[in-house]
Amino acid sequence: MPQLGKLLIVFGSMIVGIGLVLMFFDKIPYLGKLPGDINIKKDNLQLYVPISTSIVLSVVLSLIVWLFSLLNKK
């Protein structure tokens, strides 16, 4: 049962972290407005496909996970 408690703490911390990022998402400069992000606005339709932003976030998160795994091996 202690492992379940640790797992719930990790998931809860992740949810809080995601919530904080979403609260301050508008204040992060250039995020969502990079070249390569597709934003189409028509009369009744708005389509937004953040291709470049997704790639940048993927690289950053991959580096963070890689650093944690590197530090965890020692």
Q: What is the rounded end-to-end Cα distance, in angstroms, of the chain? A: 27
Higher pLDDT, 16 or 73: 16
Cβ count near 11 (within 10 Å):
10
- Whether the per-residue pLDDT at 58 is higher than 90: the answer is yes
The residue written with tokens 């995020």 in the block is: 31
SS (H, E, C) 13-74: HHHHHHHHHHHCHHHCCCCCCCCCCEEEECCCCEEEECHHHHHHHHHHHHHHHHHHHHHHHC
> Residues 6-35: pLDDT tens digits?
888 888 998 998 888 778 877 777 777 889
Higher pLDDT, 26 or 47: 47
Mean model confidence pLDDT for the chain: 86
